[in-house]
A and B are shown apart, each in its own frame.
Chain A
């Protein structure tokens, strides 16, 4: 089946620094990737929708200047948390969408990245 990877799986950084998280579709091309944030014991909350070659669409309440998303190719999207603060500590999950007439709309999820900001 389709596989999505994320790197790193776990990162610790100091407050004020920036962190980049990569999301790759390993065996398929994805025109659309999604970024989610998950707090402990809570739902996955969609942060933004990323389409290859165009600007990401952010959900209401998500700061686009803080969470920079780049979708430069059909297999790679990156999320950069700029000037990270402890409140940005969370679990970040990406997904990549395959959408064709036979398989309909299916999202394949990465394993997530745990960010801890000290």
Chain B
């Protein structure tokens, strides 16, 4: 079945370090891909998305490129801040209105 796999956390980085959180997916079709972020005590928020192969989603300095050949959607940021500390979820969705299938989440902790 369809699934999403993320790298295990927690990921601990120093401020201004480069961030990569790996996400790979298994899908029978061509889903849209998403990254959600959950800050402590808050609900999940959509961070970025890509709807087709080779699309790049970007927001708040974060980027992810939809790679069909490697079935991946890795999240990157060039210079993390303490305020980026959160749990990040990768997800896929087949069509508008379809259900979201989430990865297990990756906790990021950024130290000053």
C-alpha gap A83/B45 in the complex (Å): 32
Interface 0/1 of B1-24, CB less than 8 Å to A: 000100000000000000000000
Residues of A within 8 A of B29 (CB): none
Q: Chain B: how many interface residues by the 8 Å CB criterion? A: 20
Residues of A within 8 A of B104 (CB): 41-43
CB distance A43 to B103 under 8 Å?
A: yes
C-alpha gap A44/B99 in the complex (Å): 11
B97 adjacent to chain A (CB < 8 Å)? yes
Contact of A110 among B43, B93, B101, B103 (CB under 8 A): B43
B28 adjacent to chain A (CB < 8 Å)? no
CB distance from A92 to the nearest CB of B (A): 12
What residues make up the interface of A, taking CB atoms closer than 8 Å to B? 4, 32, 34, 41-46, 49, 59, 93, 95, 97, 99, 104-112
Seed contacts A43-B105, A111-B42; 18 additional CB < 8 Å A-B pairs: A32-B97, A43-B4, A43-B89, A43-B102, A44-B89, A49-B99, A59-B99, A93-B43, A95-B43, A99-B96, A99-B97, A105-B93, A105-B96, A107-B46, A107-B100, A109-B45, A110-B43, A111-B41
What residues make up the interface of B, taking CB atoms closer than 8 Å to A? 4, 36, 38, 41-46, 89, 93, 96-97, 99-105
